[in-house]
A and B are shown apart, each in its own frame.
Chain A
Amino acid sequence: MNKNLISQAFLKSLPIMVGYLVIGFGFGILLRDAGYGLLWAIAMSLFIYAGSMQYVGVSLITAPATLFMTILTTFMINARHLFYSISMISRYKDAGKFKPYLIFALTDETYALVSDNKHPKGNDRYVFWFLISLFNHFYWILGTAFGSVFAKSLPFDTSGITFSMTAIFVAAYTEQWMAKKHRISAIIGILVTLLARIIFGSDMFLIPSMLVIAAILLLLRTKLSKGD
C-alpha cells in the first residue's frame, strides 16, 4: 500500500473529519448523560456506525424500547442505506477482500465521498475507497470517545447538548426543503407525526406514525413518483 494513496485518501476525508468529530462528540456526551459510558459509546460507534440512528438509539435505550420498536425504528431511519448500496453494487463488485468492510461502512458521508468519479485507476481505487471508509469510521469513534470521556470535565453545563439531536434533523429537513427534494413527502412526515403525537401521546406515537406514513406514500405512488 503506497504512501501516496494513503495521503490522497486522508485529504479526501478531511471535510468529513470535522463533522464526525463534532457530531460524535455530542453523541458521546448524550450517551454519558443517559448513564452509559465509554465502552458503550465505542461499541455503538464501532458496530452501528450510523449517526442519526445512534442519537435516536440513546432514547431507545433509555426509554427502554421493546425489541419490535427498535427493529422498526432502525429500519425506518436507515432504510435509505438500501439505496446507497443499490447504487454502489457495480462500483464495489470487484473489490474482493475490501468488499465486506466497504459495504458495512457506507454511511451518508462516506457514500458522498466514494460515489464521485475522482478516484485512482485500477485496483488502487478499492484501497482508496477502503481507506476513506476507515478514516471516517475512525473519526466517528474518536469523536464519540472524546465526548464520553470529557463530558464531565467540560467547563460549562452540558445539559442542553440533547438539543444537538433536534438540530441535526431540523438542519437536514431544511436542507432537503431548500434542495426541493420531495417536499410533499416531507410535509406528510411532519403532519402525520404531529397528529399521531397529539392523538397517541408522547410514548406511543412513533409506530403508528411510521405505518401511516408508509401507507400514504404507497397510496400516492403514481402522483409522487413523477417528482413533486
Chain B
Amino acid sequence: MGFDMHASILIITMSVVTIALRFIPFIVFSGKKEIPKIVIYLGEVLPSAVIGMLVIYCLKDIDFSVTPYGSRELVATFIVVLTQILSRNSLLSILAGTISYMLFLNFL
C-alpha cells in the first residue's frame, strides 16, 4: 500500500478538532466573559447521550438474520454490563467482555 493521503488528512482533522475543543474555552472564556448557559447545559447532558450513540454504533454491523444471530456480541455485551455492575471497575469489565468475545469467536 502506498502512502494513504486520505487517512492522514482524517487523522490531522481529528487532531485539530480535538485540540480546538481543549483550547477554545481557555481562549474564549479566560477573561471575565460569562460562559453561556446553553454551553454548560449541553456539556452536562451531551456526553451521556453520545456514549449511548456509540454503543449502538459499535453494534451496528450485527446481522440478526444469519447464525449466530448476533448472540456472541449480545452475550459479550451482557458480560460487560454485569461485570461493571458488580465491580464498578471499567478496565476489568472491558477485559472480561473482550476476552469472552474472542473465546466465542475462536471456540464456539
Contacts and interface: CB of A to CB of B under 8 A. Distances in A.
Contacts of B65: none
B30 interface: yes
B14 A173 contact: no
Contact of A164 (B9, B40, B52, B94): B94
Contacts of B95: 22
Contact of B53 (A189, A202, A221): A189
Interface in A151-202: 156-161, 163-176, 178, 181-183, 185-190, 192-194, 197, 202
Given A80-B46, A175-B90, A166 B52 contact: no
B10 interface: yes
A74 B55 contact: no
Instruction: Say whether chain B's binding surface is mostly helix, strand, loop, or mixed.
Output: helix
B80 A103 contact: no
Interface string B34-73: 0100111111111111111111111111000000000001
A192 B29 CA distance: 33
B11 A193 contact: no
Among the interface residues B51, B94, B97, which one has the most CB atoms of the partner chain A within 10 A? Answer: B51
A143 B81 CA distance: 25
Given A89-B25, A166-B77, A172 B90 contact: yes
Interface residues on A, range: 35 or more
B92 to A, nearest CB: 9
B11 A82 contact: no
12 contacts: A53-B18, A86-B29, A106-B22, A158-B102, A166-B73, A166-B77, A168-B90, A168-B94, A174-B93, A186-B48, A206-B53, A209-B53
A156 B98 CA distance: 13
A61 interface: yes
A159 B102 CA distance: 7
Interface string B73-87: 100110011011100
User: Ordered nearest first, which 6 A-B pairs have the shortest CB separation?
Assistant: A189-B52, A189-B49, A160-B102, A83-B43, A166-B58, A167-B97
Contact of B85 (A35, A77, A174): A174
